[in-house]
Amino acid sequence: MTKVCIIGAGCSGITTAKRLAEHDIDYDQFELSDDVGGNWYFRNPNGRSAVYESLHIDTSKTRLQFEEFPVPEEWPDFPSHRLMHDYFRAYVEHFGLRDRIEFGVGVDSAVRRPDGGWDVTLSTGETRSYTDLAVANGHHWKPRLPAWTVDPDFDGVVLHSHAYVSPFEPVEIRGKTVIVVGMGNSAMDIASELSSPWMAEKLYVSARRGVWVLPKYRNGQPADKVMAPPDIPKDVALAASRELIRGLVGNMSDYGLPEPDHEPLAAHPSVSADFLTKAGSGDIHMLPEIASLSGRTVTLVDGSTVEADVVICATGYEMSFPFFSPDDVELHPDSDHRYPLFKRMIKPGVDHLFFMGLAQSSPTIVNLAEQQSKLLVAILTGSYVLPPVEEQERIMRADEAFHLDQYYAAPRHTIQIDFGRYCVDLLEEIEAGEARAGAGAVRVE
């Protein structure tokens, strides 16, 4: 009898549970925290939420909503983290999922059995056995820090953006000289918030390269609402989008920012309604990459120095699966932060293991696992059959090339996908697997 273990009750875990429940597939779901919401649970007691007090999602509401549970019409275009958390709570209540979640229970280890199932040891000390494992533990909870943060001889405060809550917590920012490291979405939000003249005495942003800063709105509409549909060839859509972005924002140097060394959309989009204005108004000052810290002195790679009181590293996150044995090397990302998966869900040759929501999805990750769960239940019910392992690997390599070729090489881009095109491809693969099942193929074990 199939029984699935779901790790996590964030947006990916709860929509996976909903799909299993409606297909009468038995499961247990474990959540380390005391509520659903994962990364969108502000002050989550499990310590794994990256939400800061002023955060609004940079994906518009119609792009992030679940298929069978639309967001309220009265919502603003870009909801706050509080609305997002309330939405996930309402989803769980609407579909009757809460009583199936075991809160305050973590997964300490998940070990493959010789028969292909999993022995899962919980934080309570109990071990349970499952036929299948659905990993939905998120990938924005283990901060990645620059090498110069290791034992710095620095008299100020160094923290990752994961620990940032507000201009007053965990450190008082008023009157301080602050350096925000990075030019991703969190970096731009935090830098914009702290750069007001009544807040930080001086606000620097340090970056190894320039980026294209995209607006949230285009002609009065959320910019992601007018993205090219997936039926337009990718190269055509990409060329048109790049031309449009250049026309919308002009040269980054016009705002006092470094010019990017790459084309628009060759990096995961950095979206901000405020950053360009703040930079152009002289509230944000740019610095090159940091080389080292000493006392209150920050030395940059070009040899110049500045003094600083606080350094906030918005330098991303590492994928991590601490419940897998370190000796089971193939279940962990490689040294380049790569973790290739068939349809971003399945490690070829590793049976009964599924990763839900493990992608850097543009424009949104919120409803990614909702789409992936369609493939999951098709496999579990036997209506879909996987291709042979060698074919999975071939398809996986082709998919990676298709989704990643527009991006420059960096750890942040190893799991990047285009959501719309991914979903079209996923449905096509489900149809292909159903045809294999109908032709009498056997589930690959």
DSSP, res 223: G
d(C-alpha 105, C-alpha 88), whole Å? 19
Angle at 173 between CA 169 and CA 177, to 5 degrees: 145
Q: Which helix (H) or strand (E) holds 111?
A: strand 107-112
Mean pLDDT of 324-351: 96
Residue 336 has pLDDT above 50, yes or no: yes
Nearest residue to 79 (alpha-carbon basis) of 104, 59, 93: 59
pLDDT tens string 12-29: 999 999 999 999 999 999
Mean pLDDT of 223-235: 90
pLDDT number for residue 427: 97
10 Å CB burial of residue 261 (0-12, 13-18, 19+) is exposed
Q: Phi and psi (nearest 5°) for 202?
A: -150, 140
Beta bridge mates, 321: none
pLDDT number for residue 49: 96
d(C-alpha 242, C-alpha 263), whole Å? 7
Helix (H, G, I), strand (E, B) or coil at 295: strand
Sign of CA dihedral 339, 344, 350, 353: positive
Mean pLDDT of 158-187: 97
Mean pLDDT of 333-359: 96
What band does 226 get if pLDDT is binned at 50, 70 and 90? confident
pLDDT tens string 109-167: 999 999 889 999 999 999 999 999 999 999 999 999 999 998 778 999 999 999 999 99
10 Å CB burial of residue 343 (0-12, 13-18, 19+) is buried
**In the numeric block, which tokens belong to residue 33?**
């925290």
Residue 442 has pLDDT above 60, yes or no: no
What band does 378 get if pLDDT is binned at 50, 70 and 90? very high
d(C-alpha 318, C-alpha 138), whole Å? 10
Residue 445 has pLDDT above 50, yes or no: no
pLDDT tens string 28-61: 999 999 999 999 999 999 999 999 999 999 999 9
Please give the domain boundaries of the chain with CATH numbers for all domains: 3-142+317-438 (3.50.50.60), 147-313 (3.50.50.60)
Residue 409 has pLDDT above 70, yes or no: yes
* pTM of the shown model: 0.95
Mean pLDDT of 303-311: 98
Mean pLDDT of 377-397: 97
Residue 435 makes CB contacts below 8 A (sequence gap 6+) with none
Q: What is the mean pLDDT of the chain?
A: 95
d(C-alpha 414, C-alpha 218), whole Å? 28
pLDDT number for residue 441: 53
Beta bridge mates, 143: 317
DSSP, res 403: H
Report strand pairing: 107-112 vs 101-103: unpaired
DSSP, res 268: S
d(C-alpha 50, C-alpha 41), whole Å? 9
Residue 297 makes CB contacts below 8 A (sequence gap 6+) with 305, 306, 307
Mean pLDDT of 266-293: 96
